[in-house]
Structure formats: C-alpha cells, structure tokens
Amino acid sequence: MNKTTLQALAAFPDQLEAHYAAIPGPFKDWEPESSDGIPSEPFNAIGHVCHVRDIEIDGYQVRFERTLTESNPVLASLDGLSMAVERSLRDV
C-alpha cells in the first residue's frame, strides 16, 4: 500500500474525533424525522461514529483478513442499521 494511503488511514481516527467535536452540543443527538432520501443509515452524530467503528471492525478488518488468507472468500454484506439495533445502539 502506498505511503499516502497509509498516512490517510492513520490520520482518520483523529479527523473523525475532530469532526465530532466540532458539532455543537445540541445537535449531537439530532436525527432527521425520516430517512427518506438519505443514502446512509439514519443515525445521530455519535451513531455515525459507532457505525464507522462497527464497519471497520466487523467489515473491513474481516474482509481484509479473509482476502489475505482464503482462496475464494465470501465477503458478506453488512447492514449497519441492523447491527446498531442488535447492539442496542439504536431503536427501530
């Protein structure tokens, strides 16, 4: 992997933390009334941070490992909203 990509990946946790910290307090719990037309899961700000964590651990890390160690890995799709409900991070 090239140096620029590795540097960007290494910087991401700090950037995510900085972006979350920049959200004014009253807006951290805000969620849209409807997720119609929203091309991602309908989370509030901390829900999105948890979603990024879950997708990184249960998605990308598993996929990278399977790609490196298996001949024909099956890379399952992940449903972030279902994961959040199962982990009690979100009510339906």
pLDDT recorded at residue 89: 63
Distance (Å, whole) CA 52 – CA 43: 11
Residue that is written with structure tokens 């309908």 in the block? 42
List the chain domain ranges. Answer: 42-92
**Burial status of residue 48 (CB atoms within 10 A of its CB: 0-12, 13-18, 19 or more):** middle
**Pure H helices in the chain:** 3-21, 45-54, 61-69, 80-86
Q: Which whole-number Å values give the CA distances from 38 to 2, 10, 14, 56, 61, in the listed order?
A: 33, 28, 26, 21, 26
Please report, in tens digits, the pLDDT of each residue of the chain (92 residues total): 789 999 998 999 999 999 999 999 989 988 877 777 776 667 888 888 888 888 888 888 888 899 999 999 988 888 877 877 787 766 54
